[in-house]
Structure 1
Amino acid sequence: MKSHLYKEFNKLFNKEAENAYFSPGRVNLIGEHIDYNGGLVMPCAITFGTYLLVSPNNEGVLRFRSLNFEDKPDIALQNNYTKTGEKWFNYPLGIFEYFLKDGHDLQGLDMLFYGDIPISSGLSSSASIEVVTAFALNDLFDAGYSKLDLVKLAKSVENNFIGVNCGIMDQFAVAFGEKNKALMLNCDTLDYQAVDSNLGDHILAIINTNKPRKLAESKYNERVQECQAALTALKQELDINNLCDIDTATFNQHSYLITDGVILKRAQHVIEENDRVKLAAVALSNNNLAEFGRLMYASHDSLRDLYEVSGQELDAIVAYSKNDVNVAGARMTGAGFGGCAIALVKESAFDDFSTNVIEYYTSKIGYAPSVYRSLIGDGVGELEPSVIRG
């Protein structure tokens, strides 16, 4: 499809696209439900994402078109905007609103978006759209934002314009991603380390449960509140700002402060998961995929049993993977409640893995998942026309 984007742009707007941009989706390799607890996560950019072709117009109109959605709004440039229902164009429109609110002088644009990220899969299609739009506006209008500024701006759009109480990991990963590297990101300080992620003869399999995960309708915000309750309890004796300010040993010494059994389980997951990320960075750096895979499985078990954000669909994929000798490790990725799992699969065995996991999952769940192969890719950037035109 991407090879036809320039033709589609010409057909829609009767002119050539002047600029093209790409922003990836992301998976989180390990470190789940950590971003709002001030700890370490390890996302990477993937080779699926959002393409944006742009040309200016002189009519002062923002023309939003997408090959993924039918809505084709033409919206006049004005000083402020509000969210329109659950429409896809809210994500780029929110970016425009923030640029205008910051005093930037924009002009009309004709825009064509195309994404090959499965929608509602937990691979951050929303962050991908936000970041590619922000990067494009920053480039086209010489707005002077740093890449980190764009990440923070896109997160503000998600929180305040869209209304989803997410952390910063998704926007950070799709902006700062590097080929064949995972990002060990401290969500409190935003310091990060690019960790060499040579998967050797393995590739990243992304398995979409095809059970849509809508964050705003899930128990995501409930988990945020439960973590805050755990933090409040621990603060009775510990001088901390986030759950991830302590390690597992310190938590075990003070866990008696949390008297609610459910809250205790939530905190145990978060603090142990944060320690797993540190171990995972060492394993990846040493090309120890067996150890990294063990940590992936341990992460999934914790998300299933302690944090309770998995489900039979995600559990079925991981259960199959544990018995496939060509899989080094697997886990759910993203917020849970549906969405995707990931697995490290030997490239030579990918087709067999895909066939077998689809068969196993369908027998357990009653419908098929979708399986994709991906590499670890680069973050947001401008594209040369030849990249799309081929």
Structure 2
Amino acid sequence: MGEFSWPTEDQLKEMRNKVSEMSGRDAEEVRVVVSPYRICPLGAHIDHQGGTVSAMTINKGILLGFVPSGDTEVVLRSGQFDGEVRFRIDEIQQPTNSVKKHHAVYASDSAKIKEECKWGNYARGALYALQSRGNILTEGIIGYICGSDNLDSSGLSSSAAVGIAYLLALESANDMNVTPLDNIEYDRLIENGYLGLRNGILDQSAILLSRYGCLMCMDCKSKEYEIIQPREPQNGGETEFKKSYKILLAFSGLRCALTNNPGYNCRVAECQEAAKFLLCASGKAEMEPRLCNVEEEVYEAHKSELEPIIAKRAQHYFTENRRAAKGLKAWKSGNLEDFGKLISASGLSSIHNYECGSEPLIQLNEILQRAPGVFGARFSGAGFRGCCLALVDADRAEEAASYVRREYFELQPELASQLNADSAVLICEPGDSARVI
């Protein structure tokens, strides 16, 4: 399990050659942004409420090869989508008026976007975010972007990975020195301000702060974070721990962008409604209606007064916060069994209390729970589409993957038949943070 197993030298060479062909520049001049996808073992759906989250990146993600254009023009092509995106770095960007249409674009098939190349809105959003904080950019880029194994719209934060890739490329081309914490806020501006998605900072934080083989933990209220390295086991070091597990990604065949489903923003509003009620009950109505501002004692005292649906959302928040805290202790001690049980409990709360998910994803999650060697499993993302993730004993990963492919095909033959047999269940390794090579 090598720290830099992704991207491979062949992948980097391919990116550099494509940009060289586009720009007429030497391949040696091409820089490559590596922006990984992330998984969230614990802390699901509570980042927007200021809860505690955990995440790590995987050895899959977005690659963006680019060179500074030498003028103000941005020229982009994509490995997934047709057409060419062009705009100028000195154009003032305004938030899009068609949120669902534009946010869905990166997860849609190319036939839907030939008309105006709207997949370029993430690049425009990156420029918007930088401009909104007073940055004046003078250098455009010529770039080529592609994602690993067509994993867009799979609940792995591909949208955040894309936004961060464009931010890092524009900053690099303009010799800007930007901290990871600043880029978390810039990417949030892309998704919240430019595209209108009401998400928190989990995705951006994971991609920008993670370190190979470690668990990134963040208090989304204070923005304080910790990179947690597991304690060295008695009979082996840190490297042995990393080699003891793999990450399974099992795909459902469902594809639907997050903002296409009104349930996501609706659930955020329901959490805020719970917070507002509980804050009023405790005499703190003036505070921002987020559940992180509610003392757990207040929740326990007044939870029976909440409307049933609102009560479920609050229950998920407070129990998930506790699971995240327990999970950090299990990870530090190298206890994968306990960590996995907490992941599975998180998944059940997402289904029953947060009430996200769809029948195929719920079935897929149940299959993973039964698979040989799996420590724990849950949805990756909201569970409305995409995939489920599992932590699995490295020695049984292939066996588990075969079991999941077979069982899911029996339950959902139509959806399973849409998946490539080799990529229906992927065996992944931990990744590193986003960077420019």
| Contact 2:243/2:394 (<8 A) preserved | no
Bigger Cα displacement from structure 2, 276-285 vs 50-59: 50-59
Q: Deviations over 1:238-271 (max 9, x none)?
A: 347532345766533221231x111111111111
Which of the residues 48, 56, 65 maps onto 1:36? Answer: 48
| Contact 1:244/1:274 (<8 A) preserved | no
Residues 16/210 of structure 1: CA separation in 2 closer, same or farther (3 Å cut): farther
Q: Deviations over 1:25-49 (max 9, x none)?
A: 1111111110111110101111111
Residue of structure 1 equivalent to 2:121: 90
Residue of structure 1 equivalent to 2:221: 188
**Identity percentage of aligned residues:** 27
| Contact 1:213/1:336 (<8 A) preserved | no
Structure 1 position 206 matched with structure 2 position 216: no
Residue of structure 2 equivalent to 1:215: 258
CA distance in 2 between counterparts of 1:75 and 1:272 reads 46
CA distance in 2 between counterparts of 1:285 and 1:199 reads 13
Residues 382/144 of structure 1: CA separation in 2 closer, same or farther (3 Å cut): closer
CA distance in 2 between counterparts of 1:139 and 1:107 reads 10
Counterpart mapping for 1:105-120 below 5 A: 105-116=137-148, 118-120=151-153
Residue of structure 2 equivalent to 1:67: 79
Bigger Cα displacement from structure 2, 25-34 vs 93-102: 93-102
Residue of structure 2 equivalent to 1:51: 63
CA distance in 2 between counterparts of 1:294 and 1:264 reads 24
| Contact 2:52/2:218 (<8 A) preserved | yes
Residue of structure 2 equivalent to 1:81: 93
Which of the residues 299, 304, 317 maps onto 1:256? Answer: 304
| Contact 2:371/2:404 (<8 A) preserved | no
| Contact 1:62/1:108 (<8 A) preserved | yes
Following superposition, the deviation at residue 200 of structure 1 comes to: 4.7
CA distance in 1 between counterparts of 2:319 and 2:341 reads 14
1:207 is matched by which residue type in structure 2? A
Counterpart mapping for 1:144-155 below 5 A: 144-155=177-188
SS in 2 for 1:73: strand
Counterpart mapping for 1:303-314 below 5 A: 303-314=350-361
CA distance in 1 between counterparts of 2:343 and 2:271 reads 22
CA distance in 2 between counterparts of 1:283 and 1:57 reads 48
Following superposition, the deviation at residue 4 of structure 1 comes to: 1.6
Q: Which runs of 5+ in 1 are unaligned?
A: 384-390
1:373 is matched by which residue type in structure 2? I
Which portions of structure 1, spanning 4 or more consecutive aligned residues, are displaced by more than 6 angstroms?
none
Q: Which runs of 5+ in 2 are unaligned?
A: 1-9, 106-117, 231-240
Residue of structure 1 equivalent to 2:24: 14
Q: Deviations over 1:251-301 (max 9, x none)?
A: 33221231x111111111111011100000001111111111111111111
Structure 1 position 174 matched with structure 2 position 207: yes
2:304 is matched by which residue type in structure 1? Y
Structure 1 position 380 matched with structure 2 position 403: no
| Contact 2:15/2:32 (<8 A) preserved | no
| Contact 1:233/1:257 (<8 A) preserved | no
Counterpart mapping for 1:224-263 below 5 A: 224-238=268-282, 239=284, 241=288, 242-245=290-293, 250-258=298-306, 260-263=307-310
CA distance in 1 between counterparts of 2:45 and 2:299 reads 17
CA distance in 2 between counterparts of 1:284 and 1:339 reads 26
CA distance in 2 between counterparts of 1:248 and 1:200 reads 38
Bigger Cα displacement from structure 2, 363-372 vs 350-359: 363-372
SS in 2 for 1:88: helix
CA distance in 2 between counterparts of 1:261 and 1:188 reads 26
SS in 1 for 2:178: coil
CA distance in 2 between counterparts of 1:139 and 1:75 reads 18
SS in 1 for 2:93: coil
Structure 1 position 125 matched with structure 2 position 168: no
Residue of structure 2 equivalent to 1:280: 327
| Contact 2:141/2:169 (<8 A) preserved | no
Which of the residues 398, 402, 417 maps onto 1:351? Answer: 398
| Contact 1:121/1:210 (<8 A) preserved | no
CA distance in 1 between counterparts of 2:15 and 2:359 reads 38
Residues 335/301 of structure 1: CA separation in 2 closer, same or farther (3 Å cut): same
CA distance in 2 between counterparts of 1:98 and 1:323 reads 44
Q: Matched residue pairs, number?
A: 382
Residue of structure 2 equivalent to 1:267: 314
Task: Give the TM-score taking structure 1 as reference length.
Answer: 0.92
SS in 1 for 2:175: coil
CA distance in 2 between counterparts of 1:326 and 1:105 reads 51
SS in 1 for 2:119: coil
CA distance in 2 between counterparts of 1:112 and 1:139 reads 15
Which of the residues 380, 383, 405 maps onto 1:336? Answer: 383
CA distance in 2 between counterparts of 1:14 and 1:143 reads 25
Residues 91/169 of structure 1: CA separation in 2 closer, same or farther (3 Å cut): same
Counterpart mapping for 1:155-166 below 5 A: 155-166=188-199
| Contact 1:207/1:341 (<8 A) preserved | yes
| Contact 1:63/1:73 (<8 A) preserved | yes
CA distance in 2 between counterparts of 1:254 and 1:191 reads 29
Bigger Cα displacement from structure 2, 25-34 vs 200-209: 200-209
Residue of structure 1 equivalent to 2:174: 141
SS in 2 for 1:29: coil
Which of the residues 337, 341, 350 maps onto 1:294? Answer: 341
Bigger Cα displacement from structure 2, 226-235 vs 346-355: 346-355
RMSD (Å), alpha carbons: 2.0
CA distance in 2 between counterparts of 1:330 and 1:33 reads 16
Q: Deviations over 1:357-390 (max 9, x none)?
A: 011112112232621122221111122xxxxxxx
| Contact 1:207/1:371 (<8 A) preserved | yes
Residue of structure 2 equivalent to 1:386: none
| Contact 1:79/1:97 (<8 A) preserved | no
Bigger Cα displacement from structure 2, 341-350 vs 40-49: 341-350
Following superposition, the deviation at residue 342 of structure 1 comes to: 0.8
